[in-house]
Structure 1
Amino acid sequence: MSHTIPDMSLVALAATDGMLQFELSLANEVFGAPPDGVTVPWYELVVCGPHAVQVGRFRLEPDFGLDRLRHADTVIVPGWADVDVDPPADLVDAVRAAHEAGARVASLCTGVFVLAAAGLLDGRRATTHWAHTAALAARYPRVQVEPDVLYVDNGSVLTSAGKAAALDLCLHLVRLDHGSSVANAVARRLVVPPHRAGGQAQFVTAPVPDQDDHPLTALLPWIIERLDQPLTVEDLARQARMSSRHLGRHFKAATGTTPLQWLLTQRIRHAQELLEKTDDGIDAIANATGMGTSTTLRRHFNRVVGVPPDTYRRTFGTRTR
């Protein structure tokens, strides 16, 4: 069975115990009713589950059983809390059957683990909340995990990163089905941007070891205090009183990256803070973060964060200008 717009009308939420309330609620906000003034035929939203399910502190009575997913045009799999256990087999089977019947399947946040278990992501790109991308990649090695994007559209299978990125994906689905003007109307009703640039790198903080006796515990604050200076691996190794090779091994074990990459991440993070909290020009921020020139800052910032510094400031800046 194939579906064409405007036939993408029946949206089914796949419910299970432990489902995250936020993702369920935002899907209902987007697909449950059209914004004022929108006259296009809207979606019919139903909830499908095996029984009454626990959603946070509430009990939810589904409209239909899981077998109803096969009749849906779009299946939404919200995130769920316990990603350390395998998703319920009946849910996995129902989602797989829905996709085989022609449904477009989208996961919100950790709902991606259901799609992966169903085999829908084998050989495909996918994302989830940044805190769970490593677990997703380890458990499902055939999935091409993209940790730094807000959502991934594979056509009939779509996945989103965490929380607010789930809303980005839902708006993307509306945009695909009804065009930008309708998606923009939904975004206005929800008081959110219709489309956000960049990816999860805007929101991820760099890991640091917290053990008092760790070899890097004293070094990392020393680096943070000198981000405006041109530091080399040799400088860091000398301060840590170890060889450059030994330093590299400690960095890899503690942070998952190299000393220079960690240093660059801290420079970018400091640049983000200055863009958020000050009116300093790009040249001044480049000097304060050890980037040297605005050209260097723009190049690295755009590559790491996914948007130019000026765009980031417009989105996150808190200063009144």
Structure 2
Amino acid sequence: MHILAKVAGGEVDEHYDVLQAFFAEGADGSGLVMTFQRQLSADEPWNGDPSTDDYFNNSYCITLGSEVTIYGGLEQVSFVDSQGCFYFSDHAAADLGTGRQLVVNFEVSGQDLQLFQQFLREAVTWGVPSQIPQLDGLAFESSIMEVSNTQPNEPEEGIKARNHRGGYPKLEFLSQEQLVPEGGTPPDDVAGSSEPSLEDIEYLSNLTPSQQKICDSLRGLGWINTDICNFLIQLENKREHTRAELRMKGQSETDIQKLEDICKTDMTDFSHLLRSGANRALEEYQTELYLLHENKRQRRIMLNEE
């Protein structure tokens, strides 16, 4: 597979305890979006069992938007100038749908390419030794962890924001000018409509008690109905994937429900997800990070993936 990437970078997000490198095929977030991520506060160096084949929490992860997440599986990365070749294991290639070799021509600034390479090195050289790839031609040899507190929480030239409703979201890359235009008012295509659709009204009228509690809390934080629907739908979609995995492992519906009840009564606090409309793209981005973090927490509980 061969693509042209118009966006690349890396970031540290201390709130969600992640370090990640990412690239996107389209400048608007279209096409392939791939992220390499690891836990920021994890032991350095990794001190687990080198013979383990349990890569969850023992390795970096690779994601395609919010649709696919795998742990480990990157075998080699080679860069020559602005072209990078990514080689994946058979299992990773099948899950990602990229084939064993992904060739990426980076049409980005030299600064953004170096930032991506720097964060990529930090992300994928942590964890189970068998999953650490061979790295050739990357610009940075030194660690960024010593200066991580100087890194911005958003990419320098843009930020990732959800750009369509329902199911699993794609990512949209917005310039700093789009995020905070002169005068401080979000552009029309970033600001959401406060008018709920008939679909939203119907959905919100049939919530479970636990969903209604979340809905009421989000309204208290300034959320509009459409955004509340998106939030609840994404939570349910991710949970349904986990339920399906448990059924495949032979878990009974009674046991699955007990695990779900534990998850619902101990959700990660989201009181920081205030909605003022002053910077909607940033608010959406923070929400996506929250959902990623909450999904990982629920998988740890329901699938015992510690």
TM over 0.5: no
What is the TM-score of this pair, normalised by structure 2? 0.27
Structure with the largest fraction of strand: 2
Structure with the largest fraction of helix: 1
What is the TM-score of this pair, normalised by structure 1? 0.26
Between 1 and 2, higher relative CO (CA 8 Å, sep ≥ 6) is seen in 2
